[in-house]
A and B are shown apart, each in its own frame.
Chain A
Amino acid sequence: MNDRRIDEFFKSKLGNAEIQPNISANGKFLAQLEKRKKGFTWWKVAASIAILGVATWLFLSPNEISKTVEIGKSLETEAASTSPELIKTDGVDNLAQITDVAPEVDMQEQVPLITKEIEPDVEIVAHVQVAVNKATIPKEKMTENFVPEQKIEDTIIIPTLEELPDLSNELQVASNEQIVDGKELPAVRITYISGKKKRQMTETMAKTDTSKVSPLNRIFIGAISLADGSLIAGLRDAKEDFFNRKND
Chain B
Amino acid sequence: MRLTIKKSINDEEIIAGCLKSKREDQHALYEKYSAKMLGVCCRYLKNPEEAEDLMISSIMKVFEKLEQYKAEGSFEGWIRRIVINECLTHLRKNKSMYMAVDVENAEREPDYKLLSDRLVEEDMINLIQGLPDGYRTVFNLYAIEGYSHKEIAENLGININTSKSQLSRARALLQLRLIEAEKIVDQKIVDQ
Contacts and interface: CB of A to CB of B under 8 A. Distances in A.
Nearest to A26: B30
A29 interface: yes
B39 A28 contact: no
B182 interface: no
A28 B115 contact: no
Interface in A1-38: 2-3, 5-7, 9-22, 25-26, 28-30, 32-33, 36-37
Contact of B39 (A10, A19, A22): A19
B53 A5 contact: no
Given A7-B144, A9-B115, A21-B55, 11 more contacts: A2-B175, A5-B112, A10-B143, A10-B144, A12-B116, A13-B119, A14-B121, A14-B124, A18-B38, A33-B27, A37-B21
A16 B30 contact: no
Interface of B: 21, 23, 26-27, 30, 34-36, 38-39, 42-43, 52-53, 55-57, 59-60, 63, 109, 112, 115-116, 119, 121, 124-125, 128, 139, 142-144, 171, 174-175, 178
Contact of A21 (B38, B116, B143): B38
15 contacts: A2-B109, A5-B109, A6-B178, A7-B171, A10-B143, A11-B143, A13-B124, A14-B124, A14-B144, A17-B124, A18-B35, A19-B39, A21-B52, A21-B55, A32-B56
A146 B115 CA distance: 108
A12 B115 CA distance: 12
B100 to A, nearest CB: 19
A21 B34 contact: yes
Contacts of B34: 21, 25, 29
A57 to B, nearest CB: 33
Contacts of B39: 14, 16-19
Contacts of A19: 35, 38-39, 42, 121, 125
A208 B59 CA distance: 59
Q: How large is the interface on A (under 10, 10 to 19, 20 to 34, 35 or more residues)?
A: 20 to 34
A100 B53 CA distance: 60
B112 A15 contact: no
Contact of A10 (B26, B109, B124): B124
Nearest to B167: A3
Interface of A: 2-3, 5-7, 9-22, 25-26, 28-30, 32-33, 36-37
B35 A21 contact: yes
Given A3-B171, A6-B175, A9-B116, A20 B143 contact: no
A13 B121 contact: yes
B60 A14 contact: no
Contacts of B125: 14, 17, 19
A7 B143 contact: yes
A15 B146 CA distance: 10
B174 A6 contact: yes
Nearest to A12: B116
A37 to B, nearest CB: 7
B116 A13 contact: yes
B35 A10 contact: no
A10 B128 contact: yes
A37 B27 CA distance: 14
A151 to B, nearest CB: 61
Among A7, A21, A25, A32, residue most surrounded by chain B Cβ atoms (within 10 Å) = A21
Nearest to B142: A7
A3 B175 CA distance: 9
Nearest to B23: A33
Nearest to A25: B52
A7 B124 CA distance: 12
A203 B82 CA distance: 59
